Structure 1
């Protein structure tokens, strides 16, 4: 995902370079017209430095391409949003603030599609399970553990969107192995299993679980698709996100293929109960 973000930055730099060349300007001539240093122009074109929106406006005007300013700035903003490092977020915000910041997006989303191969989808995590996940995350990133409880409560504030009616629709697909990754003790996992079983019966939710066995499509990185406008994918060190139409189409295609491999309803509940029995047997070893 970081590679994809880097490639997008390179493509944007090439587009600005082509704009300059189409205008018949060399780097020094563009520098005179825009007030930018020639070295900065070269660094922008080679994706070694990001331009400001003011730089893009000045660049477009100097190249006689004023009409492209709105489009170029929209593309630039999308490229900048593609990769966000967690350490940057953690440096500026508390864990509670980070969790709370995501709630408005969930409130605005009418159809959320999510694929998970590592943990239960975030909005479906019960308090104890979520506490285990956030504690592990805080430990990994060297964050204070005293912020975990507030972060748990902030995240749980959005769960009513799933259980509170049919204004919000959800399509979840998760790997069966996720059910055997225990965050917390057996009581915590039993609470999580009970909630997942309940969710399989909700009219606004399609909770699919991909059973072990032969595959038509391999498991990949986890991702969340908010309506048909934004995709986010969480990785170890940061978050990839995109609003580009071609990326949205790709993730929708992947989700559809994964969804077709999943089981639902009673079959999904059987997998949940199987995982419960598995963890119970492990606890008694």
Structure 2
């Protein structure tokens, strides 16, 4: 978990602890007043658990300060502006997050991206996207809205053909080998990548597994112009808009770009992986 996020969560926990202490109740009695397990009160106070809005409403009321619920929720919203849990973002399925992606892409002229374990959503075929969404729904145990999510993802790809936009993506070769579905789905996906090489709005670089790297790619990220970086972790999506973060991720992108191959070299590498599917 991000250090910045954890620091903010601990600060919110300290504020909750302060309000609880003002009641004169210990953690056990305060938990009983709320009808919660004592462990939950402890986790919230110590910044070990992120509270929900309803948790904060209940805490403020139990502390006799319902007027402070807005302050507490404001602190939480400050955390979630930059650190958005997948649990909350995908509570109604994948489509709402895909719609956000369309909005961000529409507002951006140049997107630079790095993917290390999968094909970028902007380049995915419908079948590849379908298998990705279905697997993620099962993993996260969320509402399945696969068809709506796939339609939204494909609709976002219309931006690839808009004059004036530029999509500069680096894909680590491992992502070409990582299968999210049947061999036929992977083959069609690689064919799709081959068709994008040379498109005037797309600059596609493949980082070979044997390339010398100034810095190994640890995770994927997308840079929207110079205003926003979006980074995915297994539990959280980070939306970073401060100058330091943007400069750091731009440097990471630039360093990795030095090791990538483009044009005909990229096509040959993709074609080699594609051919291996026919002989496997």
With normalisation by structure 1, the TM-score equals 0.73
Contact in 1 for aligned 2:130/2:147 (Cα 8 Å): yes
1:168 paired residue among 165, 173, 179? 165
Deviation track 1:155-186 (CA, whole Å, cap 9, x = no partner) reads 11010111x23221111001001101122223
Between the aligned partners of 1:39 and 1:47, the Cα distance in structure 2 is 19
Deviation track 1:18-51 (CA, whole Å, cap 9, x = no partner) reads xxxxxxxxxxxxx9xxxx89859xxxxx979999
With normalisation by structure 2, the TM-score equals 0.75
Give unmatched runs, 5+ long, in structure 1.
18-30, 41-45, 57-72
- The structural deviation recorded for 1:4 is 3.4
Contact in 1 for aligned 2:187/2:277 (Cα 8 Å): no
1:25 maps to which residue? Answer: none
2:215 maps to which residue? Answer: 217
Q: Residue 216 of structure 2: SS of its match in structure 1? A: coil
Between the aligned partners of 2:148 and 2:241, the Cα distance in structure 1 is 30
* 1:180 and 2:184 are equivalent in the alignment: no
Deviates more, 1:1-10 or 1:263-272: 1-10
2:267 maps to which residue? Answer: 269
2:188 paired residue among 191, 203, 206? 191
- The structural deviation recorded for 1:9 is 5.6
- The structural deviation recorded for 1:135 is 1.1
1:108 maps to which residue? Answer: 107
CA RMSD of aligned residues (A): 3.1
Give unmatched runs, 5+ long, in structure 2.
24-45, 57-67
Between the aligned partners of 2:191 and 2:202, the Cα distance in structure 1 is 15
Q: Residue 271 of structure 2: SS of its match in structure 1? A: helix
Between the aligned partners of 2:22 and 2:106, the Cα distance in structure 1 is 45
Runs of 4+ more than 3 Å apart: 7-10, 36-40, 46-56, 75-80
Between the aligned partners of 1:158 and 1:2, the Cα distance in structure 2 is 29
Deviation track 1:188-233 (CA, whole Å, cap 9, x = no partner) reads 2222112211211111211001002132211111101111111111
Deviation track 1:93-140 (CA, whole Å, cap 9, x = no partner) reads 232223223211111111101000011011111111111111110110
1:80 maps to which residue? Answer: 80
Structure 1 residues 202, 54: CA separation in 2 closer, same or farther (over 3 Å shift)? same
Number of aligned residue pairs: 240
Q: Residue 102 of structure 1: SS of its match in structure 2? A: helix
